């Protein structure tokens, strides 16, 4: 007797009997060792635990990523605010200097010192735009008044 308990003839006889008895009996008879299911109880439990962890950690991870981006954005805003404060401090220091204030007044407001003569040089780089017909709302009130008086005199 070898390692096999039944001979091939005995197996064929049992298979033939099972086929004669019907498809249910044929399914019950197996020629080899019993097959194990691929999904065992432990594997199903492990899959359930892994899925539970993924679901449980999804929301906190999303919050963490969102908070990290918010922190980076706030750091960027803080750096911009620091730069603006530094620029304003520099501007304040310059405005405390009387020479700088005088230079700005001369340049932007065309101020001159007493006894000086101010000149404005027209270099032709400006654009000549034709005046558009202004409506009554765009003109000064007194122009509208005079136009109304002139118009009423001409219609008589």
Whole-number average pLDDT of the chain: 82
Q: Give yes or no for residue 37 having a pLDDT over 70.
A: no
Angle, helices 41-95/98-109, rounded to nearest 10 degrees: 90
pLDDT of residue 8: 76
Chain CA centroid to CA 49, Å: 34
| CB of 39 closer than 8 Å to CB of 54 | no
Q: Give yes or no for residue 156 having a pLDDT over 60.
A: no
Q: Give yes or no for residue 31 having a pLDDT over 90.
A: no
Flag the least confident range among 18-32, 42-56, 103-117, 118-132.
18-32
* HEC per residue, 99-111: HHHHHHHHHHHCC
Average pLDDT over residues 39-59: 90
Average pLDDT over residues 4-20: 73
The pTM assigned to this predicted structure is 0.41
Mean pLDDT is highest, among 15-19, 20-24, 125-129, for: 15-19
Instruction: Give which of 145, 128, 127, 125 is closest to 136, Cα–Cα.
Output: 145
Q: Give yes or no for residue 151 having a pLDDT over 70.
A: yes
- 55-93 pLDDT, tens per residue? 999 999 999 999 999 999 999 999 999 999 999 999 999
What would the DSSP string read from start to end of 30-69? -SSSPPPPSS-HHHHHHHHHHHHHHHHHHHHHHHHHHHHH
């Amino acid at each position: 007797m070898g390692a096999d308990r039944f001979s091939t003839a005995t197996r064929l006889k049992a298979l033939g009997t099972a086929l004669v008895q019907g498809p249910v009996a044929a399914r019950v008879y197996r020629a080899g060792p019993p097959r194990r299911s691929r999904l065992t109880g432990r594997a199903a439990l492990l899959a359930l635990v892994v899925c539970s962890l993924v679901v449980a950690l999804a929301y906190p991870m999303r919050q963490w990523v969102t908070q990290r981006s918010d922190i980076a954005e706030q750091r960027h805003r803080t750096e911009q605010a620091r730069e603006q404060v530094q620029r304003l401090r520099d501007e304040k220091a310059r405005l405390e200097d009387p020479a700088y204030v005088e230079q700005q007044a001369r340049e932007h407001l065309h101020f001159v010192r007493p006894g000086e003569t101010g000149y404005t040089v027209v270099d032709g780089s400006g654009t000549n735009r034709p005046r558009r017909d202004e409506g009554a709302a765009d003109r000064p009130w007194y122009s509208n008044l005079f136009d109304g008086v002139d118009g009423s005199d001409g219609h008589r």
